[in-house]
């Protein structure tokens, strides 16, 4: 059985078991409620009727001649409509017969005494039924508790087994497979960089006129090879960076750094890309930006990625504004373009790995995810402000280093 089937089978079994336990609990609870309701309703009502009729008889013992049977008969009619136990109907019929006798004779003391005895029998009959149903209810409650105890114990045992087996049968294979995948990607990405470097060197040599003169078509082909090689190198670098982060092998080299030097380094890397689309890169910053704690290489990588994206999605002959702004505890870096912008519903997803806004230009969907990892690893924050048709402004912050805040 493969890993997926194991997980599905385990979850299905636990779900089925939970349904069974819920069903047993619901049935037992309902049965207990019904039994309790029977105790509190019919039998108790019969006992109350019998007591009320006994009160009427107690008044008649001292004055049997003037005994008014109307109230008694009304209660008796209610009792006749509430017959629940075997033999109870015969007792009430006998009482009704004796009441008729009382109406037709003046010497009714003996008859009243018989009626009195019949009423006590009705009370005893219903009291016995109450006790029996109470015993049944208690038995039902005990059974329900026992069933739930057994089911809960079984469920707990299976859960313990599942938890104990989870690392060996499910978690470790997943972790191992994920680690193998990450290592494979890292190895392949690293190996690809070697032939890419060779291709770059070869194209550089081909463009050297000392080797030979090229016609315009050949020069254009070499330029295309250079651009495609740069694109492949960028993708390979992104995949390698993501693989390193997933494997935990990435290391930060954080030092007190000058924000402007980092930005200058990034802008130099994208200068040629901006010139091709005649896009002006504007840098605004405080006269003396404060020192920050940063990994210069990875922070510059983030800026290069953000500015490259801005260039890619900006129209020709436009501009991109790169800003360094000092905050009380951080330094804010921002890259603002005036392209088509990003729909609000996608803005929370663009930093997820492999996510690409529908209709966007080709890429790996890793650049912003890696940028987020690099910035957050330096205890910073990264986010985007964007509106469709207006453009996008990507921002990130890094902590100031107050111990080294001197002009560099």
Domain match, 146 and 188 both: no
- Predicted local distance difference test score (pLDDT) of residue 390: 92
177/394 Cα distance (integer angstroms): 35
Q: Domain for residue 130, yes or no? A: yes
How do beta strands 255-257 and 292-294 pair?
antiparallel
Binned at pLDDT 50, 70 and 90, residue 358 comes out as confident
156 and 239 fall within a common domain: no
pTM of the model: 0.50
Residue recorded with tokens 């501009």: 319
Better-predicted residue by pLDDT, 43 or 407: 43
Shared domain for 270 and 354, answered yes or no, is yes
Residue from 259, 252, 253 nearest 400 by CA: 259
Lowest mean pLDDT among 67-76, 241-250, 270-279: 241-250
Number of helical (H) and strand (E) elements in the chain, helices listed first: 10, 7
What's residue 348's pLDDT?
Answer: 86
Q: How far apart are CA 116 and CA 72, in angstroms?
A: 12
Same domain, 387 and 270: yes
Please determine, for residue 27, whether its predicted confidence score (pLDDT) is greater than 50: yes
Give the pLDDT of residue 138: 74
Q: Nearest 5 degrees, angle CA 310-CA 314-CA 316?
A: 135
Pull the structure tokens for residue 31. 């049965």
Distance CA 48, CA 229 (A): 98
- What are 377-392's pLDDT values in tens digits? 899 999 999 999 899 9
Residue 172, pLDDT score: 61
- Tens of pLDDT, residue by residue over 106-139, are 556 778 888 888 888 988 888 888 888 777 777 7
For residue 337, is pLDDT > 90? yes
pLDDT confidence band for 338 (50 / 70 / 90): very high
The 3-state DSSP composition of the chain as helix, strand, coil percent (nearest 5) reads 65, 10, 25
Domain coverage including residue 184: 179-247
| Residue with tokens 């924000």, as numbered in its chain | 259
- Provide the domain count of the chain: 3
Query: Is 229 in the same domain as 260?
Result: no
What pLDDT shows up at residue 408?
Answer: 43
Q: What residue has token string 């670098």?
A: 237
β 330-336/319-326 pair status: antiparallel
Q: Which two tokens stand for residue 256?
A: 């007190």
Has residue 141 got a pLDDT over 80?
no
275-278: Cβ within 8 A, 24+ apart: 277/311, 277/314, 277/316, 277/317, 278/316, 278/317
In this prediction, residues 51-77 reach a mean pLDDT of 75
Of 247, 274, 292, which residue is a domain's last?
247
What is the pLDDT, as a whole number, of residue 39? 56
Q: In this structure, are 233 and 337 located in the same domain?
A: no
If asked whether residues 398 and 305 sit together in one domain, one would say: yes
pLDDT at residue 2, as a whole number:
53
pLDDT, tens only, 204-262: 777 777 777 778 887 778 777 877 777 676 666 666 666 665 555 567 789 999 999 99
Tell whether 265 and 141 lie within a shared domain.
no
Categorize the per-residue pLDDT at 279 as very low, low, confident or very high, splitting at 50, 70 and 90: very high
Residue predicted with more confidence, 85 or 282 = 282
Q: What's the half-sphere exposure (Cβ side, CA atoms, 13 Å) at 77?
A: 6
Asked, for residue 174, whether it belongs to a domain, the answer is no
| Token pair for 353 | 């790995």
> What are the φ and ψ backbone dihedral angles of 365, each rounded to 5 degrees?
75, 20
33: pLDDT strictly greater than 90? no
355 pLDDT higher than 90: no
Give the per-residue pLDDT at 325.
94
Tell me, yes or no, whether 31 and 48 share the same domain: yes
- What is residue 331's predicted lDDT score, i.e. its pLDDT? 95
Neighbours of 245 (CB within 10 A): 17
- 359 belongs to a structural domain: yes
- How many C-alpha atoms does 389 have within 13 Å on its Cβ side? 0
Q: Going along 239-291, which residue ranges are E strands?
A: 255-257, 280-285
The domain that holds 303 is classified in CATH as 3.30.565.10
Q: Residues 6 or more apart from 290 whose CB is under 8 A from it? A: 259, 326, 331, 400, 401, 405
267 pLDDT band, cuts 50/70/90, is very high
CATH no. for residue 81?
1.20.1330
Q: Is the dihedral of CA 163, 166, 171, 174 positive or negative?
A: negative
Q: Residues 57-71: what's their mean pLDDT?
A: 67
| pLDDT averaged over every residue in the chain | 79
Q: Tell me: do 243 and 260 sit in the same domain.
A: no
The answer to whether 100 and 115 are in contact (CB under 8 A) is: no
């Amino acid at each position: 059985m493969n890993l997926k089937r194991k997980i599905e089978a385990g979850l299905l079994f636990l779900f089925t078991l939970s349904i069974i336990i819920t069903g047993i609990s619901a049935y037992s609870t309902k049965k207990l409620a019904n039994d309790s309701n029977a105790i509190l309703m019919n039998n108790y009502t019969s006992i109350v009727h019998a007591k009320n009729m006994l009160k009427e008889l107690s008044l008649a013992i001292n004055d049997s001649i003037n005994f008014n049977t109307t109230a008694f008969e009304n209660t008796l009619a209610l009792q006749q409509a509430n017959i629940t136990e075997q033999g109870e109907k015969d007792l009430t019929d006998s009482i009704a017969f004796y009441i008729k006798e009382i109406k037709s004779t003046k010497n009714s003391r003996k008859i009243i005494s018989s009626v009195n005895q019949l009423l006590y029998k009705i009370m005893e009959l219903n009291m016995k039924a109450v006790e029996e149903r109470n015993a049944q209810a208690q038995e039902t409650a005990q059974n329900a508790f026992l069933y739930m105890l057994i089911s809960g114990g079984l469920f707990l045992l299976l859960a313990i087994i599942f938890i104990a087996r989870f690392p060996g049968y499910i978690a470790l294979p997943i972790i191992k497979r994920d680690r193998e995948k990450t290592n494979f990607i890292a190895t392949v990405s690293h190996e690809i960089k070697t032939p890419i470097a060779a291709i770059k060197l070869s194209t550089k040599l081909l463009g050297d006129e000392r080797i030979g003169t090229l016609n315009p078509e050949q020069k254009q082909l070499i330029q295309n090879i250079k651009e495609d090689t740069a694109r492949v190198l960028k993708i390979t670098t992104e995949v390698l960076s993501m693989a390193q982060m997933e494997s935990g092998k990435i290391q930060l080299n954080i030092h007190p750094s000058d924000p402007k030097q980092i930005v200058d380094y990034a802008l130099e890397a994208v200068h040629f890309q901006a010139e091709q689309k005649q896009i002006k890169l504007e840098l605004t910053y405080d006269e003396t930006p404060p020192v920050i704690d940063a990994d210069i290489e990875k922070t510059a990588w983030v800026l290069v990625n953000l500015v490259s994206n801005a260039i890619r999605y900006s129209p020709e002959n436009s501009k991109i504004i790169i800003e360094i702004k000092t905050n009380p505890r951080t330094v804010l870096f921002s890259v603002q373009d005036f392209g088509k912008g990003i729909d609000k519903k996608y803005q929370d997803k663009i930093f997820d790995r492999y996510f690409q806004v529908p209709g966007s230009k080709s890429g790996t969907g890793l650049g912003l995810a890696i940028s987020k990892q690099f910035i957050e690893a330096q205890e910073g924050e990264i986010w985007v402000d964007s509106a469709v048709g207006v453009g996008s402004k990507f921002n990130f912050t890094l902590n100031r280093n107050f111990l080294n805040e001197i002009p560099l």
